[in-house]
Structure 1
Amino acid sequence: MRFFLSISSCIVTLAASAVAFAMEPPLPMDQAFRMEARRNGADVAIRWQLEDGYYLYRDYLSATGADGKRVEIATPAGVIKEDPGYGSTEVYYGTATATIAGPITGSLKVTYQGCQDGGLCYPPTTVDIDPAALAPISNSELAAPPIALQSQAAFPLVSKAVTEPADSPGIRISDQSSNGIVGSLLDRGGVLLLLAGFLGLGVLLAFTPCVFPMYPILAATLSREGESLSAGRGFVLSSTYVLSLAAAFSLFGVIAAGWGQSFQIALQSSAATLVVAAIFVALALSSFGLFELQLPSFLRNRLAARRGSGGSLASSAALGFSSALVIGPCVTAPLAGALLYIAQTGDVVLGATALFALGVGKGIPLILMGTFGSGLLSRAGQWMERVRQVFGFLFLATAVWLLDRLLPAGTGLLLWSILAITFAVFIGAFDEMRPEADGAARLAKSAGMLAGLYGVILGIGGLSGATDPLKPLATITVARSGDATTTKAIGKDLFQSAASTSELSSLLAADGGGTPSLVYFTADWCVTCRVIERSVFPDPTVANALDGVRLISVDLSEINEANQSLMKELQVVGPPTMLFLDGNNNEIAHSRLVGEITADTVTKSASAAKSPP
């Protein structure tokens, strides 16, 4: 029990380190970037005083005249900064200056954007300046080091900054999206309701495909205990596993919010998927007895020097922590809401706590399985060996599920076919049944024969072009229906591409506007997007629902400053995300889809977008 308490203490420390990872809560825009404007002869001279830990982008300094046309703005060279989202960029620390050459007639609009170093980035901000009303300043005074520079609010000749993009697509984000799940729960019942809500959402997500791999991992861990596994022991091991998973999930979420989309790219990339799939194949081969997975000898000896239970708890904690890498790439609405809340408010403590509650909620069914299923798993003998082998097939099924997202259409179904037929052979479907065989053996043979038959059907479906394991003969059924009409289907070629705010604005304004729209954020490295494009869009019901809806896609395969700025403006964490807009470019409340998306959810959101207000 002391070792269990020490593990729990380590987990709490880890969660605290996730909080310490983040920067201090960000300052308001006009405090982080204090701006003053003066008249220098016919020119307008502008200076920003930046707080420590904040920087201003040189490329984002721009100005427009009263006629809306850009005017030349001169700025000195800045410092090259390697930004994880933007790449190499030129920024200013401490002080930034700019000059707009005169003579100037009418007002000016100056736009700038900055970030908290290691924290969030503010949206582009526009300031109105009336050059005729500015106080004069000499060149020497402007070039002198700033002394006791007042805040922007102290200069009546410079209007208060308005945090709206200079180049907006004209989309009004719904209150449901802008406030987010975290803000909505906080407004209704405070922190307690927030934690309870995320805990409950985690329980619901525990039965989604992203969490399914956790069950065989934990079961295989418990099965190693053999006859010594009791209900209490199962509770301790499974709780250690779940707490470690939740702590890692919270830590990864905080890193993702601070690092930006590049962290999600790493988790959702094909390379990461292949590595995780390879791990599950190794676990499967170990379950079949081909080799034994063990910790390095120096760690085994160290743990062996302690009490025997210590090694099991440490192993459970390590597996739980690493298992977060499997569920981390799965973008869900609660996860996106928490990440947006951290990025927008800087409240890492509350955001990380919400993510921890979400992870614990996902693990509650695992704890129940580990506690009340311990009586079955503790039975030693040949039966237990069979259970380990069944877990091996579950590990292989998880690997196939991961690889299916990366393979061409139909190839995944062939892998499922091979797995099902192999399981049928393993369970004895094709062995000769002895007359004295008991009922359990006959049930096992029947299950094996059904698995083999299903495997054959999957193989036929895969060869015919089917993609859904639950509907392997769908393409054959359609072909034999004799219907002369062509089945409607949505393909990627039907989407218009937008790579920036201006391009999206142009597409939305095409044909005079008034058309409902779907804005779909996708990427080549997003494995969940491939499932949507292969299984959801081809569904005839989806095609009917999207009939008359303008289809626009934003490709995030390569993150750059243009599409990342668009993501920030529309409050998109990452792909896959779908925004449904009415004819006036207003987002429909409760219609945004994030993460695992089905034909039914797309149909409902599309119908809401097409309905009159």
Structure 2
Amino acid sequence: MDQAFRMEAGRDGSDIAIRWQLEDGYYLYREYLSVTGVGGKPLEMATPPGVIKEDPGYGSTEVYYGTATATVAGPVTGSLNVTYQGCQDGGLCYPPTTVEIDAATLEPKSDTGKSGLQTALQSQAAFPLVSKAPKAADSSSIRISDQSTNGVVGSLLDRGGVLFLIVGFLGLGVLLAFTPCVFPMYPILAATLTREGESLSTGRGFALSSTYVLALAAAFSLFGVVAAWWGQSFQIALQSTTATLLVAAIFVALALSSFGLFELQLPSFLRNRVAAHRGGSLMSSAALGFSSALVIGPCVTAPLAGALLYIAQTGDVVLGATALFALGVGKGIPLILMGTFGSGLLPRAGQWMERVRQVFGFLFVATAVWLVDRLLPAGAGLLLWSVLAITFAVFIGAFDQMRPEAGGAARLAKSAGMLAGLYGVILGIGGLSGATDPLKPLATIAAARSGDATPARVIGKDSFQSIASAADLSSLLKADGPAAPTLVYFTADWCVTCRVIERSVLPDATVADALDGVRLVSVDLSEITEANQSLMKELQVVGPPTMLFLDRDNQEVQDTRLVGEITADTVTVSASSAKGQLR
């Protein structure tokens, strides 16, 4: 920094004149120039007007190129502290720096100001990096891992360049295609294909599914860029209860349409315009694909978080958007395969076609229940699943009288319906008992029956010490000392996924065992403030839910950060690593 911004001081009568010589391509912020005297008292300083720069992090701000000057009104005695901050245009930035100058000799009192300078990428962007420089053993400052600071985008770029990055995100998308967030895409596309009826060929299936996926990827890329620039306000909008209920209502409307209550179609003036063209179905597929990105958008994943960090840190929107587009296409590759090679397996016409549409209707309802389940009190979600399972049993004729001449398919359908009805009853009992896991609906009852067992430790939201700023975290770590590893959990009331974690993951007995002896700290982001946003920047957190695991030296343990859909298994593994049990 002392090479990029060469500072010198001189006298102008009783005043002190400070001058910076800036290297080409570097600039200083005018508003961050300040001088204080003995005891930290602000001194009067005059600076000339700067050049208006549209900064991605600060907005319109005044900066200096080439040279910068400041005049401190005299007389000044003792010493003065000069603070300034600058950046490289489109590249590296430096943290605010203070240099102490002897007012008598106008020489720096020591080299501490310059020797402590450490660079960070794009401090004017949303997420500046913290330094990974070695710290003293007794320091309570957190050092985040190389993986967190470099990010998945930076790591892939370092290994193989842009092409390797795109291929890597494409592969990550394929892996994410089998996660719950992407599941709703399958019935949406399948319902679109069945509407083609007998005219659906392999080529037509490929065209429809590819159009759907490309539109979804384009929207996913666009929403990602908006999220990177708008930050938490966009995340709040996507993860809010209102947005979740809106998307669930869309799936209910799709289900009712599949059941034949009404027909979803374009407005008449648009329908007439595209009626004469075969591209009408392609336009519908594109519209569905674009809107489907709203469903997978709120699901924060590690690759998504990495791409958002990269865009915010570097301002490279093109490369970040390309990575997100590749991620979206990767998520859609199984959809394209299903649409292309599965088209021949779909019924062509008749009563079976209507049955298939109705089955998709149940899948749409199931998706809506899955979305709102996390908003409901414990047990209420299982009651909804119970109603859905019993209704499905009635729908496929579980309780209808079977004719003696019925074939094997009808008997299998009746058996499946009876099993669905039985499962629905069990879910209802589990929901009334307060259970939350559809795969373990009677777990609460089983636990209550074993009354002689020692009550297991249960971790809840109140088990965490709440902090609101970097200063709070530093004070907490200093007060408690480095005796125990630490979990820092970023959560928010508007974060729908956080509710699932706090209701189903944290109370898990294996999680309680894994976190035994771990200091639990939470950061509530329900209201975004300057203090908690600064903490997010320092720890490289995109948004909730995020878990950071620190070892006993307050060093983030490599490969332990959890973002987005968090399970009991992932928490257990990360906590064990932080405790040094998985070295």
Quote the Cα distance in structure 2 between the aligned partners of 1:113 and 1:293: 56
Q: Give the equivalent residue in structure 2 for 1:211.
A: 182
Q: Give the equivalent residue in structure 2 for 1:150.
A: none
Quote the Cα distance in structure 2 between the aligned partners of 1:524 and 1:48: 47
Instruction: Provide Cα deviations, 1:172-207, integer angstroms capped at 9, x if missing partner.
Output: 011111111111112222222211211111111001
- Of the three residues 197, 207, 229, the one matched with 2:200 is 229
User: Measured at CA, do residues 537 and 73 of structure 1 come closer, stay the same or move farther in structure 2, by a change above 3 Å?
Assistant: farther
User: Measured at CA, do residues 555 and 63 of structure 1 come closer, stay the same or move farther in structure 2, by a change above 3 Å?
Assistant: farther
Q: Give the equivalent residue in structure 1 for 2:42.
A: 72
Q: Give, as a single letter, the amino acid of the residue that structure 1 aligns with 2:555.
A: N
Q: Give the equivalent residue in structure 2 for 1:580.
A: 549
Q: Give, as a single letter, the amino acid of the residue that structure 2 aligns with 1:575.
A: P
User: Measured at CA, do residues 71 and 464 of structure 1 come closer, stay the same or move farther in structure 2, by a change above 3 Å?
Assistant: farther
- Of the three residues 289, 304, 326, the one matched with 1:357 is 326
Quote the Cα distance in structure 1 between the aligned partners of 2:73 and 2:438: 64
1:449 aligns with 2:418: yes
Q: Give the equivalent residue in structure 2 for 1:108.
A: 81
Which is further off, 555-564 or 372-381? Answer: 372-381
Quote the Cα distance in structure 1 between the aligned partners of 2:236 and 2:577: 31
Quote the Cα distance in structure 2 between the aligned partners of 1:56 and 1:436: 86
Alignment of 1:501-580 (within 5 A): 501-580=470-549
Q: Give, as a single letter, the amino acid of the residue that structure 2 aligns with 1:72.
A: P
Quote the Cα distance in structure 2 between the aligned partners of 1:64 and 1:608: 46
Quote the Cα distance in structure 1 between the aligned partners of 2:524 and 2:547: 12
2:28 and 2:85 in contact (8 A); partners too:
no
1:319 aligns with 2:288: yes
Instruction: Provide Cα deviations, 1:426-454, integer angstroms capped at 9, x if missing partner.
Output: 11111111111111111111111111111
User: Measured at CA, do residues 43 and 399 of structure 1 come closer, stay the same or move farther in structure 2, by a change above 3 Å?
Assistant: farther
TM normalised by structure 2 equals 0.86
- Of the three residues 375, 398, 402, the one matched with 2:367 is 398
1:200 aligns with 2:166: no
1:120 and 1:258 in contact (8 A); partners too:
no
1:421 and 1:452 in contact (8 A); partners too:
yes
Q: Give the equivalent residue in structure 1 for 2:560.
A: 591
1:486 aligns with 2:455: yes
User: Measured at CA, do residues 580 and 70 of structure 1 come closer, stay the same or move farther in structure 2, by a change above 3 Å?
Assistant: farther
Matched residue SS, 1:548 = coil
- Of the three residues 224, 247, 250, the one matched with 1:253 is 224
Q: Give, as a single letter, the amino acid of the residue that structure 2 aligns with 1:582.
A: D
1:417 and 1:455 in contact (8 A); partners too:
yes
Instruction: Provide Cα deviations, 1:252-305, integer angstroms capped at 9, x if missing partner.
Output: 111111221211111111111111011000000010011111111111111113
Q: Give the equivalent residue in structure 1 for 2:136.
A: none
Which is further off, 489-498 or 156-165? Answer: 156-165
Shift of 1:456: 0.7
Q: Give the equivalent residue in structure 2 for 1:459.
A: 428
2:434 and 2:444 in contact (8 A); partners too:
yes
2:237 and 2:243 in contact (8 A); partners too:
yes
Quote the Cα distance in structure 2 between the aligned partners of 1:509 and 1:426: 62
Q: Give the equivalent residue in structure 2 for 1:278.
A: 249
Shift of 1:43: 6.9
Quote the Cα distance in structure 2 between the aligned partners of 1:451 and 1:384: 22
**Equivalences, count:** 554
Q: Give, as a single letter, the amino acid of the residue that structure 1 aligns with 2:298.
A: P
Shift of 1:48: 9.0
Gaps of 5+ in 2: 121-129, 132-138
Shift of 1:130: 2.1
User: Measured at CA, do residues 213 and 90 of structure 1 come closer, stay the same or move farther in structure 2, by a change above 3 Å?
Assistant: closer
User: Measured at CA, do residues 206 and 407 of structure 1 come closer, stay the same or move farther in structure 2, by a change above 3 Å?
Assistant: same
Shift of 1:240: 0.5
Shift of 1:121: 12
Quote the Cα distance in structure 2 between the aligned partners of 1:420 and 1:487: 32
Alignment of 1:242-391 (within 5 A): 242-305=213-276, 307=277, 309-391=278-360
Quote the Cα distance in structure 2 between the aligned partners of 1:339 and 1:316: 27
Quote the Cα distance in structure 1 between the aligned partners of 2:20 and 2:268: 58
Q: Give, as a single letter, the amino acid of the residue that structure 2 aligns with 1:187.
A: D
Shift of 1:100: 8.8
Q: Give the equivalent residue in structure 1 for 2:126.
A: none
Q: Give, as a single letter, the amino acid of the residue that structure 2 aligns with 1:551.
A: L
Shift of 1:482: 3.1
Q: Give, as a single letter, the amino acid of the residue that structure 1 aligns with 2:310.
A: Y
Q: Give, as a single letter, the amino acid of the residue that structure 2 aligns with 1:277.
A: A
Shift of 1:536: 0.6
Quote the Cα distance in structure 2 between the aligned partners of 1:518 and 1:41: 57
Matched residue SS, 1:554 = strand
Matched residue SS, 1:219 = helix
User: Measured at CA, do residues 450 and 129 of structure 1 come closer, stay the same or move farther in structure 2, by a change above 3 Å?
Assistant: same
Instruction: Provide Cα deviations, 1:431-483, integer angstroms capped at 9, x if missing partner.
Output: 11111111111111111111111111111111111111111111111111233
Quote the Cα distance in structure 2 between the aligned partners of 1:460 and 1:75: 73
1:174 and 1:589 in contact (8 A); partners too:
yes
How large is the RMSD of aligned CA atoms in angstroms? 3.6
User: Measured at CA, do residues 194 and 134 of structure 1 come closer, stay the same or move farther in structure 2, by a change above 3 Å?
Assistant: farther
1:420 aligns with 2:389: yes
Quote the Cα distance in structure 2 between the aligned partners of 1:453 and 1:343: 51
1:29 and 1:122 in contact (8 A); partners too:
no
Quote the Cα distance in structure 2 between the aligned partners of 1:211 and 1:196: 20
Matched residue SS, 1:551 = strand
